[in-house]
Structure 1
Amino acid sequence: MLLDPVSQAAIDPLIWHSFPDENDGILADEIWKCGTLVCTMLKNPACKSGEDLVNIPYSMIVKRGKKVILAVSLEQEDLRSLSYKLGCSLRELQEDYQTKGYFSELRGYVYTNEVREDLGPYEGGMDMQSIRIFLLETVCDTFDILSEPVQLQGEDKVARKTH
């Protein structure tokens, strides 16, 4: 998916049951500028809809000005919640998802105003650097941003590059 950062429409977060709450789990040291866009990393944000069907270990909210125009998330479906909501057995879901645990495999997703794109299984590391690179590269690839993301810190906005 290739989007225009200037014309991309804002997202109504309530159209997606698993859209991360942009005000929950903000990592203040993980705010980045990608071209003209500001990207904020979130850790364990709640879903904006109030649904608890997915676990979101990390997400990145992308804003143009005050408008959220994209989100990238690492998500796992919560099989216990799905079992309860769907009225089926947890064991049946575990068989369907081929797991003995309570969560599906970790997958990447990109949200726009029109699409929730499944990026497939996330196979990177769970350390902050690996997750940061995955989220920022996904944002830059989606908007075809060639410049390096620059970290914004504190009041003086000291810049730091990702690599």
Structure 2
Amino acid sequence: MNLDVTTQPVIDPLIWHTFPDEKDGIMSDEIWKCGPLVCTLLKNPACRNGEQLVAIPYAMVVKRDGAAILAVSLEQEDLRALSYTMGISLRELQEDYQTKGNFSELRGFVYSDVTREDLGVYDGDMDLQSIRIFFLETVCDTFDILSEPVQVTM
């Protein structure tokens, strides 16, 4: 996905059932400027629409002029919640997802106003530095920003 930083429309977060709540799980010491954008790292945010069908260990919401225009997240589908919501046995879902656990594999996603792009399985480290690099590189690549991100200090 390649987007224009100046014309990218604002996201209506309610169109995506798994969009991270930008007000939940804010890591106040993990706010970054990428060109004209402000990127806020979130830890364990809830889904914006209130349905908790996925677990989101980390997400980054990207704003221009105070409005969200992009989000990047790491997500795992909660097979127990899906089983209950869809009326399918947990064992059947575990077979479909080829797991014995209660969650699917960890995947990366990018949300824009009209697209939810699946980045595939996230196999990077789960330490904060690795996750920060993954998110910031994804944002800079998406908007073709060449300058280094700068941490915002409060």
Is TM-score (shorter-chain normalized) higher than 0.5? Answer: yes
- For residue 120 of structure 1, what is the aligned residue in structure 2? 120
- TM-score normalised according to structure 1 size: 0.94
Query: Are residue 100 (structure 1) and residue 115 (structure 2) matched?
Result: no
Query: Are residue 11 (structure 1) and residue 11 (structure 2) matched?
Result: yes
> How do 1:86-97 and structure 2 match up within 5 A?
86-97=86-97
Q: Per the alignment, in what secondary structure is the counterpart of residue 139 of structure 1?
A: helix
CA drift of 1:23 comes to 0.2
- TM-score normalised according to structure 2 size: 0.99
Distance 1:151 1:123 in 2: 25
AA in 2 matched with 1:83:
S
CA drift of 1:92 comes to 0.4
Which runs of no fewer than 5 residues in structure 2 stay unpaired?
none
> How do 1:1-163 and structure 2 match up within 5 A?
1-154=1-154
AA in 2 matched with 1:109:
F
Identical-residue share of aligned pairs (%): 74
CA drift of 1:121 comes to 0.2
AA in 2 matched with 1:58:
Y
Which runs of no fewer than 5 residues in structure 1 stay unpaired?
155-163
Distance 2:126 2:135 in 1: 12
The root-mean-square deviation of aligned C-alpha atoms, in Å, is 0.4
How many residue pairs match? The answer is: 154
Deviant stretches of 4+, over 4 Å:
none
Distance 2:33 2:114 in 1: 24
CA drift of 1:66 comes to 1.3
